[in-house]
Chain A
Amino acid sequence: MTLPMPDPAAATAGQPVAIAVPRRDRTLRRLLKDPTAVVCLSVLTLIALASAAAPLLTSYDPSASDLADALASPGGSHPLGADGVGRDVLSRLLYGGRTSLLGTALATAIAIAIGVPAGLVAGYLRGWFDGLADWVSNLVMSIPAIILLLVVLATVGQSTYLAMAVFGVLMSPGVFRLVRGSVNAVREELYVDAARVSGLSDTRIVRRHVLPVVQAPVIIQAAQLFGIGILIQAGLEFLGLGSTAEASWGSMLNDAFGNIYTKPLLLLWPGVAIAVTVAAAGLLANALTDVLVGGRAAKPRRHRKAATAAVAGATGTGTPADGTTETAEAADITEAAEAADTAGAALRTGEPVGDELLVVRDLRIAYGGSAVVDGVSLAVRRGEVLGLVGESGSGKSQTAFAVLGLLPPEAHATVGALSFGGTELSASGAEAAGDGMLGRRIAYVPQEPMSNLDPSFRIGTQLSEPMRRHLGLSRAEARKKVLALLDRVGIADPARVYAAYPHQVSGGMAQRVLIAAAVSCDPDLLIADEPTTALDVTVQAEVLDLMRSLQKERDMGMILVTHDFGVVADICDRVAVMQTGRIVESAPAAELFADPRHPYTRMLLASTLEDSEPRRPLTATAASEGVDA
């Protein structure tokens, strides 16, 4: 009886998931639409009904033995045959179901009755109770359940229900940890802070915000626990423990074991009963997970200006287009934009002629039929910095990933032409071009420094791995080069950072490391996706300085994806402005800022606050402000 622990994810520290249960009526409806859930629920109901109605379905007493019928084959007066001492198998199966289901229900109820309140209190109030309960739960979780149950049954008496009650206690730490994890996660949510600021009492906050989140995982775990309970109980009875007076599936297996060589068929019935019940419970748990937690994958990620926002928006799972005031204006601008497009006014001289490093013609990217990039063409020359500017959902990051070949598998990309340094690439971008392209000639600098370093490897290892692969350096040569590179990107103590793990360096330093990694194999083109957005403004300035000097020094082409016109003004030679999947305006940087032609560009530039009037001090404005009546 290996004991499958319920919800492994919950047992793993640091990954609690807070998902609120959607409103109940909807949940039930969705559950009934799921064929697996319907089948499982029906099977479990059927088994429960058959056990409850046992006296109606069979006239045999499950413990009445008739040695004349011992080991009788199925058919005749015993539809499923008779066991080693001539008891009717069908009646034992039906009555056995009662013991199994009731005992397991008891264990599940006890586990939940202990685990949920303890988890709520520990997770919400924390303090000493949390520490103690966590310690106790760790302890109890390392007790081999069956050993303790052996002891209890051997000493206290052969009661199935007592054993299952003890088992419920042994299972409660699983529930406790799950609940505590969910509560801990939801407790960190800002809406709980907002509720507190709104003056809600703790009980009210728990009822309103915490319980709904706990509900779903607990229901799922209850289904799993139910399956495990059936297994444990069968195991105990198979060992000959538990009540001998009552029929049970486990004791039937015990009997079958005794007759395994003469009548192996006896294994079948209780075996099937157990497997079907447990499988139904397990599958029900899975189906419940899909229904109750299904939103998990679709939940929009909350990175600042994350590339995924574009995806989410496009697939309709995340941010819809800004409505009300925001859409009204956007619509105006789009209309004007279309007019401008047809007039050809917005596309100016910016396109380079000849000696292009990268040429993209008519790039289109769609997620499930909805386009996020809709016919983008651009070109970058050696030594030139192209700014790709736009708001979230404009498709700017998607464009960059398409060139790299790092779009998620759900993305569908097509391209009129994509060539790099004279080599034609497919719509699958640089990665598909084989060795020597991605990481060697085209490199990438990501947005979030901390989440883009592998947390399990030393920084030095991460930096030297691509160098050794692409440049064929030895370990020692790579190390020397990495140290020089770290020094080059402005890291004061290269040896320390070389040996450090990512969690030991600051965000600014991590971004320097990522830049070092990108330029390590002397690429011709650097694609940087919002490389400074996650940084403080003082660090941003230094990182931009670094990128500028590296770009000049190595004469690299560069695509800089950003939403910040200040960054564009700082570093870009040419700018392409993107709106909802298209480039609406493209021009040399100086021209674009001096004379923005497209209405969308003008609107964006007008939104920058850099040059806005400072607000006047309150004393001066008091006469006009603050009074409404």
Chain B
Amino acid sequence: MSTVAPAEPAPARETGPLLSVDKLVVDYPGKGRGRPPVRVLKGVSVDVHPGETLGLVGESGSGKTTLGRAILGLAPVTGGTIGFGGRDISALGRKERRALSDDIQVVFQDPYTSLNPALTVGDILTEPLLVTGASDADAGRRVRELLDQVRLPADAGERLPREFSGGQRQRIAIARALTRAPKIIVCDEPVSALDLSTQARILDLFIEIQERTGVAYLFITHDLSVVRHISHRVAVLYRGEIVETGEASAVTTAPEHPYTRRLLLAAPVPDPARQAERRAARLEFAARQQAGAPTDGLSGTPAADEPTS
């Protein structure tokens, strides 16, 4: 494991953020001609420090995936800046963007479409090395190290992705992200397609890798319990805006913003008695919301329960 360069000394907050998103605005072109563009992110600001996990929670339509894609250079930035290591990376040319692949990597949600089914696992893992011009021997060695890090058998390199289960594929995707020892990995719902027991193991793998290598995560998810488990800090995204940011323990157990509270109260607890309490609390909260003045532009209607067209 010595080859993974943890290098950095214990990350300290004083060094400033590794990634700093400031007032980010992203518009997508409207469907059909003449339709106005859709504003997906409306001035989002978040920071991620070295070695830290920032959990980004939101429901469908909140813009959480778009934020991740904008950081990765896969979504168009309309306004605001994305700072990485002190420089703005929101409007880089193709070539400059490619150079960033050393530092910024990704793990996607769907372990089935994020690996090319026609390539062997070895080919997939060495893909990020194509750019660096590593020798075949080096690449082979790196594949073995990576497989070991994510607890896959050494012979996995010769096999095709379809020979692996969802959890194992996600391990492959994590290994690929680690190939060039990045400083930050954008994790877009990496465990939500997995079974419960697999999900817990993959999360623990993420934590273990972070503790060993000092990599930072922007961990995007819709699940408050996942975010509580893995994040140091949490940001809550609602309809393209950050409504609450704070320490994970605070945000996921005693949220301040009504939306976060609603999110928390809506998640069912695996215990009938406590779930009955939570349900009662949720209904009471909803009734109060409806009666009282809606705070922060939050209406009683659920965010996602709106026509899609």
Please determine if A and B sit in direct contact within the complex, based on CB atoms under 8 angstroms apart. Answer: yes
Q: Which residues of A contact B (CB under 8 A)?
A: 20-23, 189-191, 193-202, 204, 208-209, 212-213, 300, 302, 304-305, 319-326, 329, 391-392, 503-509, 535-542, 544-545, 563-570, 589-590, 593, 603-612, 614-619, 621-623, 625-629
Residue contacts A-B, CB under 8 angstroms, 17 given: A196-B74, A198-B179, A198-B180, A204-B130, A319-B166, A326-B167, A506-B306, A537-B263, A541-B279, A570-B279, A590-B272, A615-B248, A616-B232, A622-B10, A622-B12, A626-B50, A628-B1
Quick one: which of B151-180 are within 8 Å of A by CB?
151-153, 163-168, 173, 176, 179-180
Query: Are A537's CB and B73's CB within 8 A?
Result: no
CB contact under 8 A between A198 and B118, given known A507-B304, A538-B303, A566-B270: no
Assembled-state Cα–Cα distance A625/B223 (Å): 25
The winner among A321, A604, A615 for most chain B CB atoms within 10 A is: A615
- The stretch from B37-45, B52-60, B81-89 touching chain A is B52-60
Assembled-state Cα–Cα distance A330/B104 (Å): 35
Query: Are B272's CB and A625's CB within 8 A?
Result: no
Residues of B within 8 A of A627 (CB): 6, 9-10, 214
| Complex partner residue of B59 from A20, A320, A537, CB under 8 angstroms | A537
Q: How far is the CB of B164 from chain A (nearest CB, A)?
A: 7
Assembled-state Cα–Cα distance A206/B164 (Å): 26
Query: Are A323's CB and B153's CB within 8 A?
Result: yes
Q: Which residue of B lies closest to A564 (CB)?
A: B268
Assembled-state Cα–Cα distance A204/B123 (Å): 14
Query: Are A570's CB and B229's CB within 8 A?
Result: no
Q: Which residues of B contact A (CB under 8 A)?
A: 1, 6, 8-13, 49-53, 59-60, 69, 72-74, 94, 98-102, 104-106, 108, 110, 112-119, 124, 127-128, 130-131, 151-153, 163-168, 173, 176, 179-180, 192-193, 195-201, 203, 207, 210-214, 222-226, 228-233, 247-249, 252-253, 262-263, 265-275, 279, 282-283, 302-309
Residues of A within 8 A of B231 (CB): 615
Query: Are A324's CB and B152's CB within 8 A?
Result: yes
Query: Are B112's CB and A193's CB within 8 A?
Result: no
5 shortest interchain CB distances as A-B pairs = A199-B101, A566-B268, A20-B118, A565-B270, A614-B249
Q: How far is the CB of B73 from chain A (nearest CB, A)?
A: 7
Assembled-state Cα–Cα distance A208/B168 (Å): 23
Assembled-state Cα–Cα distance A406/B205 (Å): 39
| Complex partner residue of B304 from A198, A208, A539, CB under 8 angstroms | A539
Assembled-state Cα–Cα distance A628/B1 (Å): 10
Query: Are A610's CB and B309's CB within 8 A?
Result: no
Q: How far is the CB of B233 from chain A (nearest CB, A)?
A: 7
Query: Are A302's CB and B113's CB within 8 A?
Result: yes
| Complex partner residue of A202 from B94, B167, B247, CB under 8 angstroms | B94
| Complex partner residue of A628 from B213, B262, B267, CB under 8 angstroms | B213
Assembled-state Cα–Cα distance A324/B307 (Å): 44
CB contact under 8 A between A191 and B116, given known A326-B201, A614-B253: yes
Q: How far is the CB of B87 from chain A (nearest CB, A)?
A: 17
Residues of A within 8 A of B101 (CB): 197-199
Query: Are B59's CB and A619's CB within 8 A?
Result: no
Query: Are A603's CB and B233's CB within 8 A?
Result: no
Q: Which residue of B lies closest to A503 (CB)?
A: B309
Question: Besides the contacts A20-B116, A593-B270, A617-B249, what 13 more A-B pairs have beta carbons closer than 8 Å?
Answer: A191-B124, A197-B74, A324-B152, A324-B153, A504-B307, A537-B222, A541-B282, A545-B279, A615-B207, A618-B51, A626-B6, A626-B8, A626-B50
Assembled-state Cα–Cα distance A67/B49 (Å): 95
Query: Are B73's CB and A196's CB within 8 A?
Result: yes
The winner among A200, A504, A545, A609 for most chain B CB atoms within 10 A is: A609
Residues of A within 8 A of B115 (CB): 191
Assembled-state Cα–Cα distance A541/B286 (Å): 12
Assembled-state Cα–Cα distance A625/B115 (Å): 31
Q: How far is the CB of A465 from chain B (nearest CB, A)?
A: 23
Query: Are B51's CB and A326's CB within 8 A?
Result: no
Q: Which residue of B lies closest to A313 (CB)?
A: B165
